[in-house]
Structure 1
Amino acid sequence: MNPIESIREEIKQFINESGDQFENKLLSEAVNVSTKITDILNRGNIDLLKNAKLMVFYIIDNKEEELVSFAKQEGIAWAMHSLTLELKLEWVQAIRRTIWHFIHILDEQKDIITDRKNYYILEKAINEKMDRFLNSFFLNYSNYKDEMIFQQREMVEHLSVPIIPVKQSVSVLPLIGAIDSFRIRVIEEKVLNDIAESRIQTLIIDLSGIAVMEMDVIDYFEKILAGISMMGCKAILTGLRPELVKKMVHAGIRFEKDAETRGTLQDTLKTFL
């Protein structure tokens, strides 16, 4: 066993034997977190003290793969239960200070670090592992939050694409508000799926609530109309506003091939009701 490995074993054994002293020191280093230990346990079934010991041993044993996997698990758990990054950062920094506190005590008692070079090697290894844990934790926390936001937005956007049946095989899709590149894709998915599932033969798309569309969105909308036609459904556009028509005309976009255009939604519905 080389000197560094021997030092690691001494540190691990000392921390393991310290038990309550290690936990008390850790809690004293993380004042804000220590008052929320029970709350975090109840809220997310996250045992901070047990997890801190596990993390410390992964670091001391130089088990990077296990440490990164543990950081991922922790990041997802903290994001899932909406625990703040501020608390996690305070807790990890408290763990860092506590590790070095116990290394200092052990070295005073047993003089385990006799070579300055070994001290620097140990310091570099431990602090790099701590930083590796934090990087992986923050990355997975952020990814989980981003995915939650994406799913919530997707759900909201699906709800904002109300396809309303007005009679058998005839439905209305009133579009309101801004349509960006994300929302136009949601519209495409919702429209094509509903045509297939509900056997819609005529879909009236009312655009009176849309004043402006960017050119990339207009181009995508044209493709949606082609898709509607390919599925054997007739698209009728109503409520086209002058600003939007002008933009389409100057861009050379024509909907006549795949859709019929009419004046207002009210007048169009009279034809079917």
Structure 2
Amino acid sequence: MTHHTITTSIGDQLIERKHEIANNIFSALLDAYPTIYVEARRIESLPYFEQLIELIGEGLLRGENNLDKSSQWGKEVGRLASGQGVPLHLSISKSSLYKKVILEDIVLHNEATLSKEILLQITNDIDHTFTTMISAFCEAYSEYAEEQLKISEEKYLSLSTPVVPIFSDLAVLPLIGQVDEVRGEMMAEHVLLECKKLSIHKLIIDLSGVYEVNPLFQQGIMKLIDSLKLLGIEPILSGMRPEMSIEFVQMGINISSLKIYQSLNKAVENHENEIV
């Protein structure tokens, strides 16, 4: 039998017996990771293993690696595993077990016709496929980590920039800490949405919790102020320390048209007097 005939025969075998091999993979996982895998997960796991075996079988049949499909499989399984909280190193170690089971099955059913040269070539082909899958695993984990970081940042920013209603038409935005470029962008978006939701006409931006002013902070504040004006909401500043006002002037930012109060209490008192 020629090299090509043997490899295509093995490819056919893998596809025909994919369900059995998939079960063997899951059984190996049960033995290797008894605290993670339980028998109840077998049914939901088998389709992914069958897809993997079919990919490898098709590659041997055609004599080429299904790099696109291999990458797609790796990404899909990587997203699933990362979403379930499975550590990346564990996913990679499990892929070694998948490969071991598949190669052992090939040797077991083709021992009479499988030369060392052909086995080496098949092992190299399968290794190449798994390398592509592992790369896609890592990419999926990286994307998931970035998504979770963004979600965490959004939650933090929404908590760190609360719009607190005081009266039906007045709310307060107490700022604490630094405002960098990312927080500045998200702060403006979050605050504007909250103001619209609350249907307020005035927003007091309280700066008493800000102890360091930098250009990014100033740009973020001014962008918020300009955006509030465009929505017909009057921005009011409170709690600005003298050194902060000097830094605004040095940056060439004109805030003289805004109502500015020494403290939040003064700003609220003034609003009460206007109502009376």
Q: Same fold (TM over 0.5)?
A: yes
User: 1:212 and 1:14 mapped to 2: Cα distance?
Assistant: 65
Deviation at 1:210, TM superposition (A): 0.7
SS in 2 for 1:61: helix
Q: 1:271 to 1:35 in 2, by over 3 A?
A: closer
Structure 1 residue identity aligned to 2:73: F
Structure 1 residue identity aligned to 2:143: N
Matched, 1:263 2:262: yes
Deviation sequence 1:106-125 (CA, Å, 0-9, x none) = 45x222347x3x55543332
SS in 2 for 1:111: coil
Q: How many residues align?
A: 265
8 Å contact from structure 1 (residues 172, 205) kept in 2: yes
TM-score by length of 1: 0.82
SS in 2 for 1:174: strand
Q: 1:201 to 1:159 in 2, by over 3 A?
A: same
Deviation sequence 1:41-67 (CA, Å, 0-9, x none) = 39xx852x5533431321232244333
User: 2:109 and 2:218 mapped to 1: Cα distance?
Assistant: 70
Listed as ranges, the matches of 1:178-189 within 5 Å are: 178-189=178-189
Matched, 1:161 2:161: yes
User: 1:243 and 1:111 mapped to 2: Cα distance?
Assistant: 85
Listed as ranges, the matches of 1:30-109 within 5 Å are: 32-38=32-38, 41=41, 46-47=44-45, 51-62=48-59, 63-107=66-110, 109=111
Deviation at 1:243, TM superposition (A): 4.0
SS in 2 for 1:204: strand
8 Å contact from structure 1 (residues 171, 203) kept in 2: yes
Q: CA RMSD in A?
A: 3.2
8 Å contact from structure 2 (residues 162, 174) kept in 1: yes
Structure 2 match to 1:239: 239
Task: Give the stretch that moved more between structures: 128-137 or 238-247.
Answer: 238-247
User: 1:88 and 1:245 mapped to 2: Cα distance?
Assistant: 55
Listed as ranges, the matches of 1:205-224 within 5 Å are: 205-224=205-224
8 Å contact from structure 2 (residues 161, 175) kept in 1: yes
Q: 1:122 to 1:219 in 2, by over 3 A?
A: same
Q: 1:111 to 1:25 in 2, by over 3 A?
A: farther
Deviation at 1:102, TM superposition (A): 3.3
Structure 1: runs of 5+ lacking an equivalent:
none
Matched, 1:112 2:124: no
SS in 1 for 2:33: helix
Deviation at 1:18, TM superposition (A): 9.8
Structure 2: runs of 5+ lacking an equivalent:
60-65
SS in 2 for 1:261: strand
Q: 1:90 to 1:46 in 2, by over 3 A?
A: farther
8 Å contact from structure 1 (residues 33, 91) kept in 2: no
Once the two structures are aligned, what percentage of the paired residues are identical? 20
